[in-house]
Structures are given as structure tokens and as C-alpha cells.
Structure 1
Amino acid sequence: MPWRDHRTETRTLLGAQLVFNIGFYAVVPFLAGAMGTEYGLDAAAIGLVLGARTFSQQGMFLLGGMLADRWGARRAILTGCLVRIVGYATLAAASDFALFLLGAVLTGAGGALFSPALESRLSHADQPAGTHGPGRGRGTRRSVFVWLAITGEIGAVLGPVLGSVLLGWGFDAALAVGIGVFAAVTVLLWYLLPAEPAHVPAGRDVDVPAAAPPAAGSRWACLRDRRFVAFCALAGMNMLAYHQLYFAVPVELSRRGLDGAWLGALFLLASVLTLLLQLPVSAAGLRMGPGRALAVGFALEAGAFALAALTSMHPGTAAGSMAPLLGAVAVLILGHMLLTPTILSLIPSFVPVEGLASGRGAYYGLAASCGGVAVLAGNAVLGQLLDLTDRHHWWPGTPWLPLVVLALLAAAALPVVLRGHGATGAAGSSSSTAPARRAR
């Protein structure tokens, strides 16, 4: 669906995601360097702070989604902004390790409240202006989560640029601007984001968001749905694959004797490809249908890791070509662009009909938490394999092989999970009743 055809509420939420990402990426990528140079923390302390930030966000997504269901998405989104403001203020006031740790945890918790609530609200709001039924405007409309990926990527590009400029005035200046950005988002959303109706009568269009809290049992329904848990576990491989840009790819650069400047080129390539190709790739995924799109997306990611494995080098090898890594990253991003909107837009199809009005936050939160667990466990195993490969001089592509296997497993199993679920026929639409899902 073209941008202009989305409802005002949808455009407001997408704009909030853009600004939220700018405020995040203007600060967090520079946190480790600031803690070391400006505040004198050692590597162990820095690693603990960064790990606590990531864990507090990824580990709390399910809780954040449940709170969105209980409070209503609007309240959870605004609370997430306020918690992140408090987190940044705590970092700005920090002079010792304890305050840095607290600020990092609050920063992550703010994201855990914001993201599942925003995705849940977007899934309700994903309907063109002027339509009022689950059956209208369907069939060829592009998922709103495609625009979420694009706006998020723009923020991820602009944020570090803003942060690098602000660092000329010190890290506190970056934190102050970050606080200002989140404060502005909070105020704008307070005025622009409609409150959810307190009640959705039986038979009324379920696309209208509702704040009525579900019963305690329904909040845990996502964990009792074995098909959905399997879907989340397999779909979480997409997040594990994407995060190799931050872990395995830099290691491979070092193995090839290439300096860190090339990492910036790879991130730039990922961003440019996302901004230029997200719309046509998602259109191709729409034509494929969700089952085939998931299979092709994970097959592409498996192909990217296979290319990296086949061209991998032992540490200390003479400078290797950058071309294979550029190719691997390009294929990985193509797979990621195909998978992310499809996964995000499938999640509502797992929500029971009686829970559509208010029960999606927990479902989005569980999907995100599964991705976080996959990254944590996968990177731990990959790190061990990297060490063992170097120590015992195994074939240098060995650490990439589990990633190839996991991606192929997801490619083969996800269409089976969706079979008979009713998701394969409806995801051509991005309406809130269409099957189909999550982000960075």
C-alpha cells in the first residue's frame, strides 16, 4: 500500500519508530567508547553494562507485550518513551559503574515496552483510510511492516551520523539530545495517538484497537500455543542471522587481514540495500505467499553463510578479497528484507479471534524474546566454535556451518508449521486479520 493511503494513526506510529531509532542510534553505538575514554571503566565493566542493556530489552519483550495488552498499546508506548528518557538521564548523571548499569538496564527496558506495543498497534491500524472491514482493501496491499523496516533503517542510518557530530561536544551532549528526541516523541504521541476504546462490542470490527485487558489466562495463551511457539523459535533464526553483522562478520574481516574501516562499508551496504530494495523485495514476497517467502528468505540467508564459509580464511592469512563478504552480506540482507515483514505480519493470525482486540502484545513480545534467546545462545555456540577452529586449525569455514543448517531448517520447517493454519492464504493482505510479522 502506498504511504499516503495509510491511516494517520499508522503514519504517526511509523514516524515514532523513525525518531525512536534516531534517538537510540545517536547514543548506544557510542556508549562503549564513552565509558572507556570519558569515564575510565575497564573492559569487563563495559561488557557487563552492554550485556545488561541487551538482556533487559530482549529478555523483557514478552513482559512488555503483556503489559501492552493489560494497559493498552498507547500507554505502553508512552511509558516506554518515558523509561528510556529516565535511562538516558541516569547515564548522563552516572559517575560510577552502578549508575551506568542502572541506566543501561532502564534504556533496554524502555525499548522492551515500546516495540511490542507499537507493533501490536500497527497490526490493528494496518488498514487504508476509508475502509472499515477486515475484508476490504485486501489481496494486493503491501504490509505496513515493510514501511516499519524502512523507517527503522532510516533512523539507524541517521542516528550514528547525529551521534558522531554530537560527540564533538562530549557524550553528555549526545545523551542530552537523545533525551530531547524521546521527550519530543512522547509529547507528540500523547497528542496524536488516539486512545484505545475501552471496549469492543461483539460483532464490531476487530481492526479497531481496544484497551480492554485480557484475562490472565489469555495473556499466557501465546505460550500454550505450540504451533506459535514453534513458529517463533524458527522465525528467531532470522534475528540470529542478521546479528552476525555485529559478531561473525567482524571476526571474518579480521581473519582476512582487513581493517575495521571495511565494517563501516558493509553496514553502509546493508542500509543502502534496505532503503533501495525493501519495497520491491516485499512485493515479490507478497506474490510468493507467506510460506514460500519464508522458505526463500531463509534459503537466501543459508546461501549467504555458505558463501562466507567457502571463502573463509584462517587467522593471519594474507589480505583476502573483500568481494566474497560483500556478496554474502548482500544476500543476507535480501533474505532479511523478505523475512522480516512476512514474519511480523503473520503474528496476528495466531491470535485467537476472541483475543484480537487486546491480546497481540504478548504474541509480538514472545516472537521478539525468542529472537533474543536465539541470538544469545547462537552467538555463545558460534564463539566457542570460532575459538576451537583457531585453536585446532580446523577448516576455517566450520563456525559458519551451524548457521547454514539452522537457516535451512527454518526454510524447510516454517512452511510445514503454517500448513493447515490458514496463514498461507491470507498474508497477501496486511490487514490486521491477515496472517503474516517483527524488527531490529
Structure 2
Amino acid sequence: MTDAAGGAGLRSAFSSLTGPLRFLLLSSFLIPLGSFMVLPFMSVFLHERLGMGLGSVGVVLAAASLVQFSGGVVGGALADRVGLRRTMMWALVVRTAGFAAFLAALRWPPVAVGALILTCCGAALYLPANKAYLVHGVAEARRPAFLSAGNAALNAGMAVGPLIAGPFVLSSPGPLFLCVTVLFAAVAVGHARLPATGAAGKRSGDVRPPGQGLLSGVAVLPFAANGLAFYLYFYFQHYLAVYAVERASSEFYSLVLLTCFVLVIVVQPLASDAIRRMSYPVALAAGFAGLAAGTAVLAAGTRTALLAGGVLITLGDIVLFLKNDLEALRRSRRSDAVVFGQQRLAAGLGACASGVLGGQLYGFGERAGDTGWFWMLAAAQCVLLPPLLLALRDRACAPPAHPDDTEGTTTPDDAHGRIPG
């Protein structure tokens, strides 16, 4: 598909956007904008402003990340029971309270830990309901465009937030925390005016028996593929900073991150329909190949390699993260919110495993005086681990939820969780 065709498809999809969905996309920008005015600086704030040791800071941040990602499975289940709008409102109230608690932490430093965990709990509750509301009642062919637009708004907020807050987070944290608290309170009030969906993102024909568990009906292959994708991606996310700063500068590292954000914002919406039409095995192969090539290039350690590696990794992620969500929605009979929560759980488990194992490997490389091999080892995992997903090809938990949606998405084997060998 050409960029022109992709742009035409986007214009067609968004021409029918209602006021509530426009507000939801705006919120998808404002919420990460506010969050990333604070959260990226937490290690510096906790260590330098509040005097916590680096070891303690690491434990706190690891726990917060696990809560934020893996807690999504609870958020999806809550939305399934009480509704999408109510879940989003509760989540925003929790996050508003968390950022308000950072103000108290300026006087009582230990409160900062609880404040951070509280904001992460709010994020865990919010995102599955947000995504489910965004695609609720949307035709299957338009779901990729709407999801990619939400991802673009999310990445735009993540890119702009640190640029705004960087000069103030240490010098004037009080006014900064107050501004973010007011922003979240205003967004929460706006969510109260959203119309109720009537169901927690369920598709026609969906049935949820009473007492169904959080992982019941999980789409095994997309769940495992998402966990593996996040595990490999977070080698880049966790360890590029220290690797790039010592070889280039913090400014150049910021440039690499900004480039990656812009790619997601621009490329994923344009490519969303092409990604929808890809067969799942092709999408997995293309995505993991991008991760493998990108991490291998990073091993060179030059400025050009850092930028090119980041671009290749991001292009692989654009395919993997969107396709895994779409495939999980297609294969599962659970509500959209539950499916997104299950996918967030997979992401959290992968990111946590990457932090634990990757930290040990990177530390070993530092002690050995050569961290370039760390990226070659990551590239080798990108090549060797994805074929293990073949073992899951016969373990689909449920038949596809949309048997009529077959345009360019599956092969006969793939329809039941099989990847042709």
C-alpha cells in the first residue's frame, strides 16, 4: 500500500469520528504529556532531590514498571465488570491523587514511593479501557487506523512531556507537580461527560460466563509474541541511554529517542491498513527481523549506528505491537478491554524479564570492558527465540472471534493458531 493510499484510508476513517472519540484521542495525547513531564525524571528526582540510594531507586522503578504494565490485566477485568467510562474515570482519579501526592513528597520524601506506585496503578487501570472505548463499535477494517492513531497520540505526548518539564523538574518541582495534577483533574472531568458504551467493549455474540478468570480465553500465540517482543524491545529501552551517552552525548541520545517517537507518530497510522492485511506469520517475521537488524547495528557504537539501530528497532516494533493487538482481538472471545489487559500483562512480564536478565548481561559487559557484544547477544535472541513460538501453533484457546474477517489476515492453518512451518 502506498503512503497516499494509507493517507486516504486514514482520512476516510477519521471523517466519521464523533466528538467523544476526538476527545479520547486528545486525552491520549494529554495523559502521557502530563505523565512524561514527571515520570522519566523519577530516578533523578528520587536520588538527587529526595536522597534515595541508587539501589533503592532501582527496586522502586522496577516495581512501578511491573505494576503499570502487568496491572493492565486487572484494568481490563474491571472494565469488563463496571464499564469502560467508569473504569477510565476511576483510573484518572487514582492518577490525579498520585501526582498530588508528589507535592506532599516534597515535605515527606517517603510519600514519593507511594505516589509513584499510585500513578502506575492508575495507568494500569486506564489503558485497556481507553483502547477498548476507542474501537468500540468500530468496523473491523477501521480498527487498525483507530488503534494506531491512539498510539501516535500516546507517543506524541511522551515526546513532548520531557521537553517541557526538563528545566523545571529539579529546580521547581512543586509548580510542575501542581500543573500536572490540575491537568489530570481536568481530563477526568472531561471523561465524566463521555457517553456510556452500554457494555465493556464486547463484540456481538460475546459471552462471559460468571467467574471467568483474568487469563481465561487468552489468545496464546499473540500473548506470547507480545511478551517476547517487549522482552527484546526493552533491551533497547532500558540500556540504550547508558550505552549512547558514553559514546555520544545525552543530547544525541535525546535525538535518537525523538526520531523513534516521530516514526511511530507518522509511520504507524499510514501503515496500519497494510499491517492489518499482512498474514500473522509475515508480520512476526518482519517485526523480529527489524529488532534483530537494529540491535546488531547498535553494536558498532557510532553515532550513525545508534540512530540507524533505533530506526530499525522502531520499525520492527511498529509492526509487532499493532499486529499482536489486532491478532489477539481477532482470536479471543473475551471483551476488548480484557484482551488489551491480557496483552499489557504480557508486555509487563517481557519488560520485567528484560530488566532482570539484561541488567546482569550489560553489567557483565561493563566489567569486561566491552558492551558492544551485549547488543550482538540481543540480536542473536531476536533470531533464535521467535521460532520457539511455533510450539504454540496448536494451542489456540478459542476459535477466531470474527470468522468473517478473513481479508488478507490469515491462512487456513493460522485461523486456529497455527503458523505454517
Q: Structure 2 length normalisation: TM-score?
A: 0.82
Partner of 2:212: 218
Partner of 2:362: 386
Instruction: Mark the CA change 1:305 to 1:223 in structure 2 (over 3 Å): closer, same or farther.
Output: farther
Aligned letter for 1:229? V
Match of 2:88 among 53, 77, 92: 77
Aligned mates of 2:35, 2:115 — CA distance in 1: 13
Partner of 1:426: 405
Partner of 2:133: 121
Instruction: Mark the CA change 1:415 to 1:281 in structure 2 (over 3 Å): closer, same or farther.
Output: farther
For each residue in 1:392-440, what CA deviation from the matched residue of structure 2 results, as whole angstroms up to 9, or x when unmatched? 567842454245424553377379749995589837699xxxx9xxxxx
Aligned mates of 2:99, 2:377 — CA distance in 1: 39
Match of 1:39 among 34, 50, 54: 50
Partner of 2:331: 350
Aligned mates of 2:178, 2:200 — CA distance in 1: 40
Partner of 1:157: 159
For each residue in 1:278-307, what CA deviation from the matched residue of structure 2 results, as whole angstroms up to 9, or x when unmatched? 233334323434432232112111111222
Give the superposition deviation at 1:43.
2.5
Q: 8 Å contact 1:142–1:429 — kept in the other structure?
A: no
Aligned mates of 1:425, 1:411 — CA distance in 2: 29
Give the superposition deviation at 1:328.
0.8
For each residue in 1:341-376, what CA deviation from the matched residue of structure 2 results, as whole angstroms up to 9, or x when unmatched? 222222222322xx4xxx332321121111111111
Aligned letter for 1:14? L
Q: 8 Å contact 1:294–1:411 — kept in the other structure?
A: no
Q: 8 Å contact 2:292–2:378 — kept in the other structure?
A: no
Instruction: Mark the CA change 1:424 to 1:254 in structure 2 (over 3 Å): closer, same or farther.
Output: farther
Partner of 1:252: 243
- Report the more deviating stretch, 82-91 or 229-238: 229-238
Instruction: Mark the CA change 1:179 to 1:54 in structure 2 (over 3 Å): closer, same or farther.
Output: same
RMSD: 3.3
Aligned mates of 2:404, 2:200 — CA distance in 1: 30
Q: 8 Å contact 2:235–2:358 — kept in the other structure?
A: no
Match of 1:206 among 192, 203, 207: 203
Superposed, 1:29-428 pairs within 5 Å as 29-94=40-105, 95-127=107-139, 139=141, 142-164=144-166, 166-167=168-169, 170-191=172-193, 193-197=194-198, 206=203, 214-220=208-214, 222-223=215-216, 225=218, 228-254=219-245, 257-309=247-299, 311=300, 321-352=302-333, 355=334, 359-392=335-368, 396-406=372-382, 409-410=385-386, 413=389, 417=393, 422=400, 426=405
Aligned with 2:212: secondary structure? helix
Aligned with 1:247: secondary structure? helix
Aligned with 2:110: secondary structure? helix
Q: 8 Å contact 2:295–2:375 — kept in the other structure?
A: no
Give the superposition deviation at 1:223.
3.9
Aligned with 1:426: secondary structure? coil
Partner of 1:316: none
Give the superposition deviation at 1:111.
0.3
Q: 8 Å contact 2:222–2:328 — kept in the other structure?
A: no
Aligned with 2:176: secondary structure? helix
Q: 8 Å contact 2:287–2:317 — kept in the other structure?
A: yes
Aligned with 1:295: secondary structure? helix
Instruction: Mark the CA change 1:297 to 1:6 in structure 2 (over 3 Å): closer, same or farther.
Output: farther
Aligned mates of 1:72, 1:139 — CA distance in 2: 24
Aligned mates of 1:237, 1:14 — CA distance in 2: 28
For each residue in 1:61-114, what CA deviation from the matched residue of structure 2 results, as whole angstroms up to 9, or x when unmatched? 211211111111111111010000111111111233431111111010000100
Give the superposition deviation at 1:199.
10
Q: Structure 1 length normalisation: TM-score?
A: 0.79
Instruction: Mark the CA change 1:153 to 1:425 in structure 2 (over 3 Å): closer, same or farther.
Output: farther
Partner of 1:318: none
